[in-house]
């Protein structure tokens, strides 16, 4: 596995499992806290090598890596299906999308723009000229989640390399294999070896040590809120870019195109087994069309096929682990015990959990207030748009929200009042294109990803001022 541009071996390792069959597919070196200091020190040396490259050279490293990702597409797809439980279609999209993300950041490597403020707008600025420009922030700690390994890697390594930051990358221990393959592709593409270091192992063990290292200047983290808070406490004075999940509300008004809304929301509720921060967890439906929507949604969702993710006919694969499936089962049972009605699904078999739909989940239940990260959605009835927005906002998350309506007044009311980083109109919350500013309000995180926004987060502004009068 890559570490300081080469391979490192330790006595201890951990196994990575096929999420469908349960068999061991590979073993990966288990790194320990002492390796963190080595990785950061190596990254500091690599920072000088990377900064010696021109923007043109960094761009072409990213482009060559993007090409290599596509050239090895089938191998990466096979790895993703095994280690994540993604369906074949989802894994294929993951690889293509990650390559495209690297191309977007490659373009940005040539346009690290600053500005030229008019300094003599202040009397003290007479005879002075200045401009600002972007410089690398330094060493970036990139800590990733299990659900979209290559997309997350591309959104973390892409901007870092574009601006000239060295990286210490920590992949999720449940799904490290495809990420490790792509890290090797960066090195094959000409990335200075010491500028990319990989730490494999326990996030609980390595994450706080990495976050607290004083030579790390930026932390980009995707994962759960509790871990994010631990990292923030350990970080100290550093730049944080954190996406910490959500409990996304999707509002369906009585004038919405119901077939369109049902199709979008079934996909948003159950794709990737619901293991997605944009998952449609809460579906709010106006009372005039509630019963009709419910019937159509159940009919559509009941046709989803669970099974081997390698099969082209499979819609729902296994969850990331049996413990994750058991947690989902416990949350659904808790909601049911508190009065929620089970409309669809609700059964677990090993790592599989059926597409599940509930209604009347009480506000105090886990499934109403927290992120379930599983194939479960909750139907909620509302009377008018004011009530819908109040319900949608009644969580400490605020990543993305959606409304299906053709009434401009209701759409505009939602845009003004929904406390979320993105508001979709006639689109589910499970939508993202990679140049969007992506991030949330409240407990959903800090900062924004999305090409230019990530570039800004992972670079610093340096101001240059020249006093012309001193030369006279």
Catalytic residue list:
243, 277
Determine the 3-state secondary structure of 466 from DSSP.
strand
- Alpha-helical (H) ranges within 214-272 are 225-235, 258-270
**Per-residue exposure over 314-332, b if at least 16 CB sit within 10 Å of its own CB, e if not:** bbbbbbbebebbebbbebb
Lookup: tokens for 199: 């730490």
**Which of 275, 102, 79 is closest to 180 using CA atoms?**
79
198 touches 183 (CB < 8 A): yes
Q: Which of 451, 449, 422 is nearest to 243 (CA)?
A: 449
For the chain, report the end-to-end CA distance as a whole number of angstroms: 59
For residues 168 and 157, give the distance between their C-alpha atoms in angstroms, rounded to a whole number.
Answer: 9
Contacts of 333 (CB under 8 A, 6+ apart): none
Longest dimension (CA), the chain: 83
* Residue whose pair of structure tokens reads 């007044």 in the numeric block: 409
| Burial state string for 267-292 with b = 16 or more CB within 10 A and e = fewer than 16 | bbbbbbbbbbbbbbbbbbbbeebbee
Contacts of 197 (CB under 8 A, 6+ apart): 2, 3, 4, 5, 39, 40, 42, 43, 46, 166, 167, 168, 169
Instruction: Tell me the HSE value of 435 on the side-chain side, using a 13 A CA sphere.
Output: 7
* Contact yes or no for 417/437 (Cβ under 8 A): no
Q: Which of 297-305's residues contact partners 24+ apart within 8 Å by CB, and which partners?
A: 297/262, 297/265, 297/266, 297/357, 297/379, 298/343, 298/344, 298/357, 300/262, 300/263, 300/266, 301/266, 301/269, 301/270, 301/344, 301/345, 301/355, 301/357, 302/344, 304/266, 304/270, 304/355
Residue 9 burial (C-beta neighbours within 10 Å; 0-12, 13-18, 19+): exposed
Alpha-carbon dihedral angle through residues 209, 211, 212, 217, given to the nearest 10 degrees: 140
**Using an 8 Å Cβ cutoff, are 320 and 326 in contact?**
no
| Alpha helices (H) along 315-373 | 322-337, 366-369
């Amino acid at each position: 596995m890559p570490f300081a541009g080469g391979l490192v071996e330790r006595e201890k390792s951990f196994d990575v499992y096929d999420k469908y069959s349960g068999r061991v597919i590979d073993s990966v070196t288990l790194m320990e806290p002492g390796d963190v200091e080595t990785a950061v020190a190596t990254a500091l040396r690599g920072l000088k090598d990377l900064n010696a490259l021109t923007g043109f050279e960094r761009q072409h490293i990213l482009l060559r890596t993007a090409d290599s990702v596509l050239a090895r597409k089938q191998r990466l797809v096979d790895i993703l299906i095994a280690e994540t439980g993604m369906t074949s279609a989802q894994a294929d999209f993951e690889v293509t999308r990650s390559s495209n993300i690297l191309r977007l950041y490659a373009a940005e490597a040539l346009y690290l723009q600053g500005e030229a403020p008019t300094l003599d707008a202040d009397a003290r600025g007479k005879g002075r000229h200045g401009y600002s420009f972007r410089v690398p922030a330094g060493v970036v700690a990139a800590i990733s989640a299990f659900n979209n390994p290559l997309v997350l890697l591309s959104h973390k390594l892409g901007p870092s390399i574009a601006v000239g930051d060295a990286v210490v990358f920590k992949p999720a221990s449940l799904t490290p294999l495809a990420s490790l393959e792509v890290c090797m592709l960066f090195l094959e593409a000409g990335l200075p070896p010491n500028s990319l270091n990989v730490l494999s192992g326990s996030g609980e063990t390595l994450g706080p040590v990495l976050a607290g290292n004083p030579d790390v200047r930026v932390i980009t983290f995707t994962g759960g809120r509790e871990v994010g808070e631990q990292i923030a406490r350990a970080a100290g004075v550093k730049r944080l870019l954190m996406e910490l999940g959500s409990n996304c509300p999707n509002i369906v008004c009585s004038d919405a195109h119901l077939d369109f809304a049902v199709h979008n929301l079934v996909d948003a509720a159950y794709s990737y087994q619901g293991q997605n921060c944009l998952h449609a967890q809460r579906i709010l439906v106006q009372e005039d069309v509630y019963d009709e929507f419910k019937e159509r949604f159940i009919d559509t969702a009941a046709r989803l096929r669970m099974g081997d993710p390698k099969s082209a006919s499979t819609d729902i694969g296994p969850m990331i682990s049996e413990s994750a499936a058991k947690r989902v089962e416990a949350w659904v049972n808790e909601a049911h015990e508190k009065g929620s009605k089970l409309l669809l699904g609700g059964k677990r078999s090993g790592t599989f959990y059926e597409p599940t739909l509930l209604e009347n989940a009480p506000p105090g239940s886990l499934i109403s207030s927290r992120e379930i990260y599983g194939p479960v959605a909750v139907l909620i009835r509302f009377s008018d748009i004011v009530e819908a927005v109040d319900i949608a906002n009644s969580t400490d998350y605020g990543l993305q929200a959606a409304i299906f309506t053709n009434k401009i007044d209701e759409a505009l009311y939602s845009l003004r009042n929904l406390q979320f980083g993105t508001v979709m109109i006639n689109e589910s919350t499970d939508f993202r294109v990679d140049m969007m500013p992506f991030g949330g309000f409240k407990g959903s995180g800090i900062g924004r990803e999305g090409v230019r926004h990530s570039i800004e987060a992972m670079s610093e502004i340096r101001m240059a001022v020249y006093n012309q009068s001193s030369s006279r």
